[in-house]
Amino acid sequence: MKITEARLIVCSPDRNFVTLKLCTDEGIYGLGDATLNGRELAVASYLSEHVLPCLIGRDPFAIEDIWQTLYRGAYWRRGPVTMTAIAAVDVALWDIKGKALNTPVYNLLGGRSRQGVLVYAHANGKDIEEAVDSVRRHMEAGYLAVRAQCGVPGVAGSYGVPKGGKPYEPAERGLPGEGVWSTERYLNFVPSLFEKLRVDLGPEVHLLHDVHHRLTPIEAARLGKALEPYRLFWMEDPCPAELQESFELIRRHTTTPLATGEVFNSVWDAHELIRRQWIDYLRMSIVHGGGITHAKKTADFAALYHVRTGFHGATDLSPVTMAAALHFGLAIHNFGIQEHMPHTRLTDEVFPHEYSFAEGYMHPGDAAGLGVDIDEKLAAKCPYQRAYLPVARKLDGTLTDW
Ligand code: CS2
Ligand code: MG
């Protein structure tokens, strides 16, 4: 089999997605996601200018060799743009291989290890009452794990809380918006949210919380300690993680489980975090972390250190990534949990897929390959729209981590 065509589809069915379609001389094609939120066209151009021409004529079964060629062969290694581009090619190749062998991708990764993939939903509210209500509604819809975010009094535009009753969507069309941030107000407030959640909703539901990189390590340590009575499933991205030893400090002070890595793009971003057991869950996704090939190596390394996966799954990761994550999560042994933020109906129409949700778990379906397709005609009716993630400023105007 040979790759005969490599095509990029850039579309915006309610939000932007970059999708790679690799076609072969046997009529089988594979899809890969290349979406990097707010920087979509950088990856599209990296692929179309520098990667796709090199794929024509290659054997799509040679996944490892193509991965190494794109990684080592570029000389310039790592980085979100490069690793997202490599991921798009890699995932499309796994899709092709599954279809060619007439088996779901999870069978190529070791086969089913569990019945379904535990997922967590996003609940939020402008105040505690609304947030508790939102968690309750997600539990009623069958979710066993729910992330809770809440507006902080005196902090307009807190992370994870949508404006005007719309579902939360991180990127906004146009140029970057600005939010306000106060660590003091947030730290004083958050424990009361989780106290109320446990009092009202009981001990069973898995509760998660995303700090979104906004604290210093010692502040994060204080928060982790304050949240211990409410037994969180995890506290996510407590501080920026470029300095991996920050987590040693947090870890020393709290038994609240820690998750990080949605902005990571290779095992090297998490090497010390894993090796020193400073985290419990790794969030690096298949799309931003070099595809299934690199995720498998990273997860196998993490398994040696009791670290489990908890992959990023916000709406900026397309249904192609969701499908890949579900095949992966069904197969690997050290799977932990998968984020599930449902896409809009229009996105689901552009990307018809086999995966489904029932009673707290998702399943990738048993179709050959990834079980996800793209409706190119509909995609063409939804052209790219410039959109950005917002930035955040402290009350005195200093730019801080969003
Ligand atoms: C978040 C995302 O899902 C998450 O945990 O941190 O909302 C994140 O902000 C976006 O995916 C960024 O593109
Ligand atoms: Mg997050």
Rounded to the nearest angstrom, the distance between the alpha carbon of 238 and the centre of ligand 2 is 10
CATH code for the domain in which residue 151 is found: 3.20.20.120
Cβ–ligand 1 distance for 339 under 6 Å, the answer yes
Give the number of the atom of ligand 1 that is nearest the alpha carbon of residue 38.
13
- For residues 97 and 127, membership in a common domain is answered with no
User: Is 288 designated active site?
Assistant: no
- For residues 257 and 310, membership in a common domain is answered with yes
Sequence-distant (6+) residues with CB within 8 A of 151 are: 125, 126, 127, 158, 161
Cβ–ligand 1 distance for 212 under 6 Å, the answer yes
Q: Label residue 343 by pLDDT band (50, 70, 90).
A: very high
Q: Label residue 158 by pLDDT band (50, 70, 90).
A: confident
Question: Does some domain include residue 387?
Answer: no
**What whole-number distance in Å separates Cα of residue 338 and Cα of residue 355?**
13
Question: Does some domain include residue 395?
Answer: no
Cβ–ligand 1 distance for 37 under 6 Å, the answer yes
- For residues 213 and 237, membership in a common domain is answered with yes
Q: Which of 82, 104, 126 marks a domain boundary?
A: 104
Residue 360, CB-side half-sphere exposure with 13 Å CA sphere:
12
What does the pLDDT look like over 198-230, one tens digit per residue? 999 999 999 999 999 999 999 999 999 999 999
- For residues 63 and 119, membership in a common domain is answered with no
Spatial CA neighbour of 167 closest among 16, 315, 61: 315
Rounded to the nearest angstrom, the distance between the alpha carbon of 365 and the centre of ligand 2 is 26
Cβ–ligand 1 distance for 310 under 6 Å, the answer no
pLDDT value of position 159: 85
Rounded to the nearest angstrom, the distance between the alpha carbon of 35 and the centre of ligand 1 is 13
Nearest CA owner, ligand 1 atom 3: 314
Question: Does some domain include residue 375?
Answer: no
Q: Specify the number of domains making up the chain.
A: 2
Per-residue DSSP letter, 52: H
**What whole-number distance in Å separates Cα of residue 104 and Cα of residue 119?**
20
Q: Is 311's pLDDT higher than 70? A: yes
Q: Label residue 302 by pLDDT band (50, 70, 90).
A: very high
Token couple for 91: 């995932």
**What whole-number distance in Å separates Cα of residue 276 and Cα of residue 307?**
10
Question: Does some domain include residue 118?
Answer: yes
Q: Which of 71, 104, 137 marks a domain boundary?
A: 104
User: Is 312 designated active site?
Assistant: no
- For residues 175 and 303, membership in a common domain is answered with yes
- For residues 326 and 282, membership in a common domain is answered with yes
Q: Name the catalytic one among 29, 71, 159, 355.
A: 159
- For residues 186 and 275, membership in a common domain is answered with yes
Q: Is 165's pLDDT higher than 70? A: no
Give the number of the atom of ligand 1 that is nearest the alpha carbon of residue 212.
6
Question: Does some domain include residue 398?
Answer: no
Token couple for 322: 């969701």
**What whole-number distance in Å separates Cα of residue 46 and Cα of residue 65?**
19
- For residues 335 and 213, membership in a common domain is answered with yes
Spatial CA neighbour of 271 closest among 297, 302, 246: 302
Q: Name the catalytic one among 212, 294, 343, 363.
A: 212
- For residues 150 and 64, membership in a common domain is answered with no
Question: Does some domain include residue 390?
Answer: no
Rounded to the nearest angstrom, the distance between the alpha carbon of 207 and the centre of ligand 2 is 14
Taking residues 367-385, report their average pLDDT: 98
Nearest CA owner, ligand 1 atom 4: 314
Region label for 109, one of left (φ > 0), alpha (ψ between -120 and 50) or beta (otherwise): alpha
CATH code for the domain in which residue 86 is found: 3.30.390.10
Q: Is 350's pLDDT higher than 70? A: yes
Nearest CA owner, ligand 1 atom 13: 37
- For residues 172 and 97, membership in a common domain is answered with no
- For residues 36 and 142, membership in a common domain is answered with no
Cβ–ligand 1 distance for 263 under 6 Å, the answer no
What does the pLDDT look like over 32-55, one tens digit per residue? 999 999 999 999 999 999 999 999
Question: Does some domain include residue 313?
Answer: yes
What does the pLDDT look like over 50-85, one tens digit per residue? 999 999 999 999 999 999 999 999 999 999 999 999
pLDDT value of position 349: 98
Taking residues 278-299, report their average pLDDT: 98
Computed over every residue of the chain, the mean pLDDT equals: 97
The parent domain of residue 136 ranges over 108-369
Q: Which of 55, 84, 104 marks a domain boundary?
A: 104
Per-residue DSSP letter, 304: T
Rounded to the nearest angstrom, the distance between the alpha carbon of 318 and the centre of ligand 2 is 16
Question: Which residue among 316, 339, 391, 401 is best mutated to probe the pocket of ligand 1, counting the most ligand atoms within 8 A of its Cβ?
Answer: 316
Q: Is 5's pLDDT higher than 90? A: yes
- For residues 119 and 239, membership in a common domain is answered with yes
**What whole-number distance in Å separates Cα of residue 52 and Cα of residue 59?**
14
Rounded to the nearest angstrom, the distance between the alpha carbon of 96 and the centre of ligand 2 is 31
Question: Does some domain include residue 353?
Answer: yes
Give the number of the atom of ligand 1 that is nearest the alpha carbon of residue 160.
7
Q: Is 168's pLDDT higher than 90? A: no
